[in-house]
Amino acid sequence: MKKLFPLFAALLIFTSCNRVSVSSPEGHLSVSFRLARGGVPQYSVIRHSSENRKDTLIRWSSLGLTAEEADLTKGFIMTGWKKRDHLSEWETVWGEERTIRDSHYEMDVHLLHKFTYMTIEFRVFEDGFAIRYKHPVSLFNFLGKDYSLTITNEATEYRFTQDAEAWSIPWRTEYYEGLWEKRTIHRENNASGSECTSDTLCSPITIAFADGSYGFVHEAALNDYPAQNLHVHEGALRTYLTPWLEDGKERLSSDGESIKAYESRPFSTPWRMVILTENLQDMVASRIMLNLNEPCRIKDTSWIKPMKFMGIWWGMHIKTMTWEQGPKHGATTENMERYLRFAQAHGIDAVLAEGWNKGWEDWKHFEFTTPYDDWDMAYLSRLSDSLGVQIVGHNETGGNAAAYEEDLDSIYRYHTKYGIHAIKTGYVAPIIRTRDGLQWNKGQSGVRHYRNVIKTAAKYHIVIDNHEPVMPTGLQRTYPNLMSQEGVRGQEWNAWSTDGGSPCEHVTVLPYTRIMAGPVDYTPGVFHFENPVIPTTRVHSTLMNQLGLFVCFYSPLQMACDLPEHYMEHADAFRFIEQVPCDWERSMLVDGAIGDFCIFARQGRGTKDWYIGGITDEEAREAIVPLSMLDEGETYTMTLYRDGDDADWETHPYDYKIETRKVHSGDTLHIRMAKGGGFAASICKKQAQ
């Protein structure tokens, strides 16, 4: 009888009030909650302008879940609510800035649905808001019985009040390696009744509203749940969860609905996150996603170090080397020694080796602790240690995540035995094999696998660069050994894609879309554009554009992807790659437009030095960069790497100029970026040696 008391107490405090609101600390945004007719949970969002004007950004939109056991989208009564404020500042292990401020107001709305409790938690920041569902208890829990939910759908939707342009990729894009396309979202059905697209889209989606403001719809803290996707229906952006599979088809519940997740109580869903800002600079600067993740769980993080690396990698993509053993094998002892010595001579922290282990002949039976005959792991381990250059291991699973997970401890013990504390993982398969059979990599089972890899790697002081991942959601705050991820149409497409390579515009979209979700292993730094294997395919950029990517694209594990001999063809330009950090004190978007150009400025962590990078699409343009971020009264030495007067990505990609001069905080740079071009600048307190 005592176990039933909390349920009866909740019923006794039931109030007829069905609407509550919570605002951001400075009152810029307000989120309201109500139970509409039939007990349907809904929310809306208002922006308060400086002119005391209220603009509704999201009109009443539905919330809730459906499960095999209960329809948790209606039939609720509100039993209470609780509000809290939060203000803190925390220091990153690595990142785009050293410290991050977390200021928000929270509201928990407690709901009762028959014998089931559900809490909807809201967090409101000045630059956006987040929502998640919490299922702490049910009547069955009070009776001492387990109670689980088989989730078949999520009703979360976003009914924006303005027409908008949105950048996205379809949800079934393999490994997220697609070109982000601009689509139209209508706040209502248009005259023909059609929507902007019939596709279901990957999260995130970046939105430019009609009034000139911006939005970014994504999720945070994805741990044990399927990844979110989105689609437009009847004027609303609606959630579609990645389904479970069974025998290659969607697994169905007893009532014929597609199963998305299995959850045992208590549990919380990932945060549904929306950034809402009045300009691009504030959108890019938002740290809502990181603030929604739990604090770091690794007590000693001293072993987690950002670094630049090279690798035996690009040669395979341009067909001068092979992954498998043979006449053109790339990962040989001799070749790796050459790369290690080059890295040591040029201040590069580490070298990646792909294809060193057996299994590349058929991509089916990878042996993660058995080298090919022409790879001497013991010798290379001693050499790397003597040179002070790390080896980055590579574990390609061919999509067999289950086999990899089964042997994680022995694999990671082997790597640490030879001093390897950074591993690039790979899952090249449209559907991966998990412990639950063949599944989408971003389904619940795939998400569980990736999380287990990160946690196990932490035990062995190993950092992870995850390729073919689930889309990042800020988990690097909790597990900072998850340092970088792919999940992007990266540089390798410029070596072999039958469409000729990614257009110039591609790299000017990514900083506002994919990279908003987290660090990206795009692999910049191609210095040699001729492609004898596939002459119709090439990198669509000038050499200076490739330098600009090292500042515009953030990753704490930043790869310089080209061959050593190609870098020596332009050794003076390679100097910038040698010098630029990959860990920052502060970062800012100076100027930009989605799909046109971007200019970033970043201050090296623990230094007074700044680095500026710019990239443009197929249009030439002038970059205007005020140097107001520099300390007043101080003199800096700037080395500027810019496109030459005749530079053009198609005809003269190697035309560039390097200039050195003194600059001050009151100066403004005017830099021409060629078609497909860009620039990079180091602005240092002392002249580089």
Residue 567: what are its φ and ψ, rounded to 5°?
Answer: -65, -35
Q: Tell me what pLDDT residue 114 has.
A: 86
Those residues with Cβ within 8 angstroms of residue 664's Cβ, 6 or more apart along the chain or in another chain: 627, 630, 633, 634, 635, 636
Q: Which of 432, 99, 149 is nearest to 291 (CA)?
A: 99
**Mean pLDDT, each 10-residue run in order, the chain (689 residues):** 40 59 97 97 92 89 95 96 97 98 98 90 98 77 66 97 95 97 76 51 97 97 97 91 95 95 92 98 98 98 98 97 97 98 98 98 94 98 98 98 98 98 97 97 98 98 98 98 98 96 98 98 97 90 98 98 98 98 98 98 98 98 98 97 98 98 97 98 77
Q: Which residues pair with 264 in a beta bridge?
A: 148
CA distance 64 to 432: 30
Phi-psi label, residue 595: left if phi above 0, alpha if psi -120 to 50, beta otherwise:
left
CA distance 153 to 257: 9
Q: Tell me what pLDDT residue 5 has.
A: 36
CA distance 433 to 446: 9
To the question of pTM greater than 0.75 for the whole model, the response is yes
Residue reference for tokens 């332009």: 570
Q: Tell me what pLDDT residue 53 has.
A: 82
From residue 207, alpha-carbon distances to 127, 128, 161 in Å are 14, 13, 13
Q: Tell me what pLDDT residue 303 has.
A: 98
Domains assigned to the chain: 2-291 (2.70.98.10), 490-519+533-553+576-689 (3.20.20.70)
3-state secondary structure of 4: helix
Q: Tell me what pLDDT residue 11 has.
A: 42
